[in-house]
């Protein structure tokens, strides 16, 4: 099959998969199943874990966050495994391993770049504008941190530490999410550094580099845009603060 056609078709399929998984409205599902409520009609009118915590309690907010984390991890790692290890054309997988990509040993493969990273940005868009919930979703925080954590221990830990340190100091979940996403984007670019790249990732599996860094940067931009109202409230001094930390 033509190499360009394979790249285009696989990109479209992966984007659709990421978007559909991202569109699973975890908060709406938990709310309707357990409380007969749609979180988008109460509180901040958002379907994310923060609003869920305020409406139904911390425990249920955590459940929503975990479900949102899972809906990114499943498609990302499944698509990576299928493309990397399942033989397709010419009895070979479609993409080489991360080590092969880093060393430039990609000539025999139809897809020569880590195409699975498209899952992240498409899942972020799906989370914010879910087709299964009338395109009214969350603010991309859970899915962005999930992308960081399940892609790289380094990016995940640094972003989560930033989130909780900011939360401890400022008490704003929105500001903490923004700062954590900024650090995640910066940390993802550090995975482009030779010799540090494989250390920062999960062994020799997912491929570090500019493609990963680019999608994490795009995720950060989407998250900041989705928090524009929170930013205004912080400037005006009327953003809601937490009291449990």
Q: Flag whether pLDDT at 244 surpasses 90.
A: no
pLDDT tens digits for range 32-70: 999 999 988 988 788 888 888 888 988 998 999 999 999
The residues, ordered by sequence, that sit 6+ positions from 191 with a Cβ below 8 Å of its Cβ are 152, 154, 155, 197, 200, 201, 208, 209, 212, 213
pLDDT tens digits for range 110-169: 999 999 999 999 999 999 999 999 898 889 999 999 999 999 999 999 999 999 999 999
**Mean pLDDT, the chain, whole residue set:** 93
pLDDT at 232: 96
pLDDT tens digits for range 83-98: 999 998 888 999 999 9
Of 192, 199, 119, 205, nearest to 157 (Cα)?
Answer: 199
Mean pLDDT of 171-200: 94
**Considering only 39-43, 167-171, 177-181, 236-240, which range has the smallest mean pLDDT?**
39-43
Pick 203 or 113 by higher pLDDT: 113
> SS3 of 61, please?
helix
- The b/e string for 157-178 (b: 16+ C-beta within 10 A; e otherwise) is ebbbebbeebbeebbbbbbbbb
Q: pTM for the whole thing?
A: 0.92
pLDDT at 1: 66
Domain ranges of the chain: 3-236
């Amino acid at each position: 099959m033509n190499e360009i056609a394979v790249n285009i078709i696989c990109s479209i399929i992966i984007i659709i998969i990421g978007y559909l998984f991202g569109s699973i409205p975890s908060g709406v599902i938990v709310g309707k199943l357990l409380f007969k409520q749609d979180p988008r009609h109460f509180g901040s009118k958002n379907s994310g874990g923060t609003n869920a915590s305020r409406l139904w309690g911390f425990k249920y907010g955590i459940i929503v966050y975990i479900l949102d984390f899972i809906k990114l991890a499943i498609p990302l790692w499944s698509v990576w495994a299928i493309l990397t290890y399942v033989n397709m054309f010419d009895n070979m997988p479609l993409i080489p391993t991360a080590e092969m990509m880093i060393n430039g040993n990609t000539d025999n493969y139809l897809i020569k770049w880590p195409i699975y990273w498209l899952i992240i940005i498409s899942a972020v868009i799906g989370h914010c504008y879910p087709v299964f919930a009338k395109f009214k979703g969350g603010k991309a925080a859970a899915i962005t941190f999930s992308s960081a954590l399940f892609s790289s221990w380094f990016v995940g830990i640094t972003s989560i530490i930033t989130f909780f340190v900011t939360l401890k100091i400022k008490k704003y979940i929105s500001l903490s999410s923004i700062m954590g996403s900024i650090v995640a984007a910066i940390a993802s670019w550090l995975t482009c550094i030779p010799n540090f790249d494989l250390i920062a990732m999960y062994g020799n599996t997912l491929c570090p580099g500019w493609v990963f860094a680019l999608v994490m940067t795009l995720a950060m931009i989407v998250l900041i845009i989705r928090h524009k109202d929170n930013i205004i409230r912080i400037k005006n001094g009327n953003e809601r603060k937490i009291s449990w930390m």
